[in-house]
Amino acid sequence: MIKKFDIDKTKEYGEFQMLPRGGYVCVIMGAKIEERTDGSQVVVLAMDIAEGEYAAYFQQQFSRQSGDNKIWPCRYWLNVPKDDGSEHDEWDKRKFKTFTTSLEKSNEGYKFDWDETKFNGKLIGGLFNYREFETSSGTVGETPNLAQVRSVDAIRKGDFKIPKDKKLAGFAHPQAADSSADSFAQAEVDIPF
């Protein structure tokens, strides 16, 4: 017999729709600075979809989480450049400049002044692709990934290109199998119980 638990107070899974790849008008829900062990800084931005069919998409995901270790499902990491002249630092500078320019273009009257607390509630365009991850069972899953930012105007005009999906290194990515070859319906299998 199955060991009983309080099933009446347990929340069941609902339908889940994956955010389609695309450009979305986003809102910054929060921003914080994290210090790394090497002394560098990263700005961590919590984002959500602000308009359209998928408005509040990540808020809904967050609300469905249970327990004490809830994590905001859409975060964008912005490395603060070290100004050390390295190639990586130049990439960080360009990404940071793209962010601040997109933020200024998307919020009339806003001027970037190095205060991350003023990001809250601001609109910005977001380009979402999919990022692969390893599941707890060792398989590969996909999740929406805020890959790049743009101005809200660029998103509304459709003036953007979605970056390629971020594949997980070290995993084979096979082509779709022939569905007629080994379908479950055709297989004769002894169920192991």
CA 61-115-154 angle, to 5 degrees, is 60
The 10s digit of each residue's pLDDT in 6-27 is 887 766 655 668 999 999 999 9
Q: Give Cβ neighbours of residue 54 (< 8 Å, ≥ 6 apart).
A: 19, 24
The 10s digit of each residue's pLDDT in 100-138 is 999 999 999 999 999 999 999 999 999 999 999 998 888
The CA distances from residue 185 to 6, 179, 181, in Å, are 36, 10, 11
Q: Give Cβ neighbours of residue 97 (< 8 Å, ≥ 6 apart).
A: none
The Cβ of residue 190 has, within 10 Å, a number of other Cβ atoms equal to 5
Q: Give Cβ neighbours of residue 163 (< 8 Å, ≥ 6 apart).
A: 127, 129, 147, 148
